[in-house]
């Protein structure tokens, strides 16, 4: 993918799952990566295994504290030019509304929504000044279709899609590209790392995600969409890929379907 060659790409959630697969493919494509997740030591291991490791840098941030993370990133990056920001970091949820503490909803919003807003606002002024750049956010099919056990995750991902739609409209006159990626069921550890009702980690597999496409295939399709400057793309297979389309043409059918699952 020659589109990424020589470009500086800031990638969050780079230590595992879709983010790790993106990092590997971007490095092979010749991108210069800024790798972000919470743990610097894990990111260093990732960096050392990528193609051309000397071209990449590590920037560990805790996006559950968006303001602090943005301030830390501003100091670390200085005037460095960011060609593409890929907001990929996120956490999911597996708990019924009746069993979910308010603090869990707040944590999901901080990471999955406010983290995106904070980093986007950090890089946006320079991109507007240069009239060049691309903002990408990995949202989810869960940002289009609400389901059981994911009320906080759904809420945060719906919010992200709304933010990205507004950003796209506002950035059109500045020549920037804004891309939303909506993965369906992807075979990653997202369920293992999901929050339970009390905020603890679920720690077990979700059959839906286990049956999904690989992180590598998701990354490949996502990067193709980014390179083509797509506004929004759904990535996945089966019902999880069809769900947003069905939601548009037959919302009553989708409501019945998710209520029965």
Of 230, 203, 223, 211, the closest CA to residue 18 belongs to 223
Separation CA 211–CA 66 (nearest Å):
33
- Supply 63's token pair: 């996006």
Cα separations in angstroms, 57 against 24, 66, 104: 14, 20, 32
Q: Which of 3, 105, 113, 153 does the annotation list as catalytic?
A: 153
Q: How far is CA 175 from the centre of its chain?
A: 22
Separation CA 256–CA 180 (nearest Å):
27
| 153 is annotated as an active-site residue | yes
- Supply 250's token pair: 């037959």
* Active-site annotation, residues: 153
């Amino acid at each position: 993918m020659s589109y990424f060659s020589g470009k500086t790409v800031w990638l969050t959630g780079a230590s595992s799952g879709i983010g790790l697969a993106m990092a590997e493919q971007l490095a092979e494509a010749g991108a210069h990566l800024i790798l972000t997740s919470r743990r610097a030591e894990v990111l260093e291991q990732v960096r050392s295994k990528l193609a051309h490791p000397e071209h990449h840098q590590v920037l560990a941030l805790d996006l559950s504290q968006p303001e602090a993370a943005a301030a830390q990133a501003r100091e670390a990056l200085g005037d460095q030019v960011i060609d593409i920001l890929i907001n990929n970091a996120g956490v999911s949820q597996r708990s019924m509304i009746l069993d979910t503490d308010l603090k869990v909803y707040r944590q999901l919003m901080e990471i999955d929504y406010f983290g995106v807003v904070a980093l986007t606002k950090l890089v946006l002024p320079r991109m507007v000044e240069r009239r060049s750049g691309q903002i990408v956010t990995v949202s989810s099919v869960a940002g289009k279709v609400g389901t059981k056990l994911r009320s906080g995750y759904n809420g945060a991902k719906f919010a992200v899609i709304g933010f990205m739609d507004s950003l796209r409209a506002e950035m059109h006159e500045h020549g920037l590209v804004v891309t939303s990626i909506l993965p369906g069921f992807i075979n990653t550890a997202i369920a293992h790392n999901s929050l339970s009702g009390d905020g603890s980690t679920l720690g077990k597999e979700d059959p839906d995600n286990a049956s999904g496409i690989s992180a590598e295939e998701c990354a490949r399709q996502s990067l193709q969409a980014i390179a083509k400057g797509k506004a929004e793309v759904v990535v996945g297979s089966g019902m999880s890929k069809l769900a947003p389309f069905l939601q548009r043409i037959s919302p009553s059918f989708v409501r019945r379907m998710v209520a029965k699952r």
